[in-house]
Structure 1
Amino acid sequence: MAISFKKVFCFLVLIYAIMAIPVFAQEEEEEDWSKYDDMELVDDKNVRRFAKPTIVGLSPTRFLSVSWDMQMPYQMTFSDIRLPASSGTGWRVDEEGNVAETARARFTGGIRFNSNIPVISKSNIVWQTGLNYMRVGYSIDEIQTNRITGASPSTYLSLPAVLNEKGLNNINWTNTVFLPMSEQHFLILQGAMDLSGTYDFGFQPLETIRWSLAAVYGKRVSELKRWGVGIARTYRVGNMNYVPVIMYDVTSTNRKWGTEILFPARVHGRYAFNKNSLLLFGYELEGQSYRVNEFSINDNSFEIRRGELRPRVELQKQLRGPFWAHFQAGYRIDWSFDADELPGGREFFRGFFGNQEFGMKNTLNNALYFNIGISFVTL
């Protein structure tokens, strides 16, 4: 019996979580606190000292960043739509959907904007907030339909045609609080809200807001090493899930090599050519739950559970002053593009091992991708 890549990866996640403590949090956006590396209380035995929110050698914090993401062409397959899936007529988790439509994505991608702005930066608390936007536009052709007619949107709508016209949009608001407990120990708390779907700016029911949380306990061992362990409620691979999360950041004594690990969200090795350029290599999980307005009928919310695994390398280089450029190249591996029906927009927990049925089973072939951008940073 064939073992799927997703099941193998999930098994490795659990083994890593058990064996790798010490560790950190998967955060919906990585928080790098190097702006505050110089925070230190005066040398007074009566003054309480607090852990600094970073270590030396980490890649620069991006206060503001604009980038362009693009995937190379690939094939897409879509099953018939089975609604309501909650009635027991949907696609089983272990079931392969039929091929009701096929299409070719000539282009996938779009602009991305990220912000990470300090609101409070004191020795005993640091609060950062950020508004983010991500566009996943599609140029799809060669659509071939062989749908089974029935009492569902499949009788008059084509999902690849909707994606081609509307694309997928995500607006995210993230808040992260760093709370030092002592000179070494700290807590990180993060909350995020996402509004994702085929909407045109602002035209989406607010009940489809999806929220994520993370809580982490960590230790700053030295200026060259920190670790943390926690738990997160996340949509990283499309479905809402609860996962153990790990951080392990290390910089070598010569400051050339290092790690920036936020397992399972992202794992990177780091090499610094000099103080003005560095290379990251590893992977990142990316995803969210996107409401497709055109299929959301009878008070339901039809949502694509988009999840991607992205092995990649990234070159970061200083342009001038606080402005840095980055170029990223990698391979986009389809984790999930299935769809769920949520009556009344209410979310449910499937996790890695739940057996709730899907309303639609879809597959994207894997593809090369590129991302290029410019950022306003702090070291």
Structure 2
Amino acid sequence: MKHKYPRFFLLSFFCLSFFVANAQEDEEDYSMYDNFELEDDAPIKRYAKPTISGMSPQKFIGISFDAQMPYRYEFSNVTFPESSGNGFDVDEENPTINETGTAKFTGGFRFNTNIPIISKSSFVWQSGINFMDTRYTISEAPNNPKDQPVILPDGTEARTLGRILNEDGLRNLNWTNTLFFPMNETEFIVFQGQMDLSGNYGFEDFQPLNTIRYSAAAVYGRRVNDYYRWGVGVARTYRVGNLNYVPVIMFDWTSENRKWGTEILFPARAYLRYNFSKNALLLAGFDLEGQSYHIDEYSVNGNSYEIRRGEVRPKLEFQAKITGYIWASVQAGYRWDWSYDADELDSSRDFFRGFFGNQEFGMINTLENPLFFNVGLNFVSP
């Protein structure tokens, strides 16, 4: 069956591009009033700008295709809490391996938006719908019990995780809102909230909405000058797969000749930037990607069985202007598996394990670390 959603997102891309372009054309050029003097010498309130000079252009709308090179994997038995209440029976130090094989292909289509809803000197609100479709081509080892089903707690049979990934894939749909509040000419506060629906669902067969996972971040910052700003904050995040609370550090800097710079919002991402010209640049650094993916087939008794997928992506990214506000991007890097283990969430309610919690997992899974590539087309800010 052919999927129709790529056509939908392509149509959305061009429609949103037309909308944003027209909105920008209709904006009044307030720079004409820079030298205007009020008769009564009333003070003018000035606010910190949301960017600094030389940064990579902000992506309003983007489409890309992501692909990982082949890699080996090992999946443990799918386990559920014992009826005695003693937790899972998986041995985390030496788990029983149920599936081994090769993922010949992992990747797929990505669609990202970050549209200005309100853009004033005293307040900026940006909102975006983002979609990431990850498909797998799984080749299991010859000695795998590929057709041997997983036995659920009620005695019914289910597919192995390798077959679920091969046949369904994983997808993530999220809605992100970013609010920028400048307090004066140097100080500002940024809030970001995100809702994610992640799992092996299809659009004709959505998963329960009580599996939506919520993320948020708040950062206090100072825009020191046109070339430097910093900030500190805290985030509630799923970028390492399971729920975590982490400090946030912002450090954006551009050299006075506008050739070198940094774009850092740690731990989500950190880049060193080199500007070849105003129309081409290179980023070197990493992204931290992750989310908690609901596996519908293993979610029984009102619980949610979820793959805690988290990965670090060291990479090089080249961005260049094609025409007008259309830029192309090419990425190449290394996908390092942070987590692919699984949890069962009681009544779909999540819990906090953090980096040091000792709560048991329902599966212990390992992935080898391959190279990855990503090519994209973006409609960017002026």
Q: What is the TM-score when the length of structure 1 is the normalising length? A: 0.86
What RMSD in Å do the two structures reach over aligned CA positions?
2.2
SS in 1 for 2:348: coil
CA contact (8 A) 2:92 2:364 kept: no
Taking the aligned partners of 1:39 and 1:210, their CA distance within structure 2 comes to 41
Q: Corresponding residue for 1:230? A: 233
Q: Corresponding residue for 1:314? A: 317
Aligned ranges for residues 77-116 of structure 1 at < 5 Å?
Answer: 77-84=74-81, 87-90=85-88, 95-116=93-114
Instruction: Tell whether 2:162 aligns with 1:163.
Output: no
Q: 1:361 aligns with which of 336, 360, 364?
A: 364
Instruction: Tell whether 2:143 aligns with 1:140.
Output: no
Taking the aligned partners of 1:265 and 1:347, their CA distance within structure 2 comes to 21
Q: Per-residue displacement from partner, 1:330-354 (whole Å, max 9, x unpaired)?
A: 0000000000001210000001111
Query: What amino acid maps onto 1:51 in structure 2?
Result: A
Q: Corresponding residue for 1:175? A: 177
CA contact (8 A) 2:158 2:297 kept: no
CA contact (8 A) 1:82 1:89 kept: no
CA contact (8 A) 1:80 1:148 kept: no
CA contact (8 A) 1:295 1:302 kept: yes
Q: CA deviation at 1:323?
A: 0.5
Larger Rg: 2
Taking the aligned partners of 1:181 and 1:253, their CA distance within structure 2 comes to 26
Query: What amino acid maps onto 2:109 in structure 1?
Result: I
Q: Corresponding residue for 2:189? A: 187
Q: Corresponding residue for 1:371? A: 374
Q: Corresponding residue for 1:272? A: 275
* Residues 151, 325 of structure 1: alpha-carbon distance in 2 compared, 3 angstrom cutoff: closer
Q: Corresponding residue for 1:23? A: none
Q: CA deviation at 1:39?
A: 7.4
Q: Corresponding residue for 2:20? A: none
Query: What amino acid maps onto 1:165 in structure 2?
Result: E
Structure number with greater CO (CA < 8 Å, separation at least 6) is: 1
Identity of aligned residues (%): 57
Taking the aligned partners of 1:303 and 1:148, their CA distance within structure 2 comes to 18
Q: Per-residue displacement from partner, 1:4-56 (whole Å, max 9, x unpaired)?
A: xxxxxxxxxxxxxxxxxxxxxxxxxxxxxxx99x9778466512111111100
CA contact (8 A) 1:53 1:178 kept: yes
Q: Corresponding residue for 2:201? A: 199
Q: 1:287 aligns with which of 269, 285, 290?
A: 290
**Aligned residue pair count:** 344
Taking the aligned partners of 2:89 and 2:227, their CA distance within structure 1 comes to 49
Taking the aligned partners of 1:280 and 1:93, their CA distance within structure 2 comes to 41
Q: Corresponding residue for 2:5? A: none
Q: What is the TM-score when the length of structure 2 is the normalising length? A: 0.85
* Residues 156, 293 of structure 1: alpha-carbon distance in 2 compared, 3 angstrom cutoff: closer
Taking the aligned partners of 1:81 and 1:200, their CA distance within structure 2 comes to 22
Taking the aligned partners of 1:39 and 1:343, their CA distance within structure 2 comes to 55
CA contact (8 A) 1:104 1:140 kept: yes
SS in 2 for 1:50: coil
Q: Corresponding residue for 1:8? A: none
Instruction: Tell whether 2:63 aligns with 1:66.
Output: yes
Taking the aligned partners of 2:315 and 2:30, their CA distance within structure 1 comes to 33
Q: 1:122 aligns with which of 120, 123, 127?
A: 120
* Residues 345, 219 of structure 1: alpha-carbon distance in 2 compared, 3 angstrom cutoff: same
SS in 2 for 1:89: coil
* Residues 269, 133 of structure 1: alpha-carbon distance in 2 compared, 3 angstrom cutoff: same
